Amino acid sequence: MDRPNLGSSCASAVNEQQKEPRQKPGPNALGRLAVLLLTALALPALTTLLAALSGLLLLLARLLLAAALLLARLVLAALLLPGILLVWIVHNFSFFGSSRE
C-alpha cells in the first residue's frame, strides 16, 4: 500500500498562509496610546463629577423634604387656627355674655 505524502501538503498549506509582517508603531499605535491615556485620566474626573452630582441631588432631596414638611405644618396651622378661634370666641361669649343672677 502506498501512503499519501502528508508532509508535502502541510508545507504547501503553510506557504499559502504566509503571515503578514509586523507593523511598526506608527500613528495608529500612538493614537491608541493617546486615547488610552485620555480615558485613564477622564475616568477619575467623571467619577468625581458623578459623586458631586449625586451629593447635590441628595441635598436637593433633603431641601425638598424640609420644604414639604414646612408646608404641611403651615397648612395644618391654617386649618386649626379657625377652629381654635371659634372655640375661643364661643367660650368668651358664653362666659362674658351670660348674666349670673
85 in a structural domain: yes
10 in a structural domain: no
4 in a structural domain: no
The pTM of the full predicted model, rounded to 2 decimals, is 0.47
Number of domains within the chain: 1
pLDDT classification of 62: cutoffs 50, 70, 90: very high
CA atoms of 62 and 47, how far apart (whole Å)? 23
Q: Is the pLDDT of residue 54 over 90?
A: yes
Q: Which residues constitute the domain of residue 43?
A: 31-95
56 in a structural domain: yes
CA atoms of 30 and 22, how far apart (whole Å)? 16
Per-residue pLDDT, 95: 74
Per the structure block, which three cell numbers stand in for 68? 414639604
100 in a structural domain: no
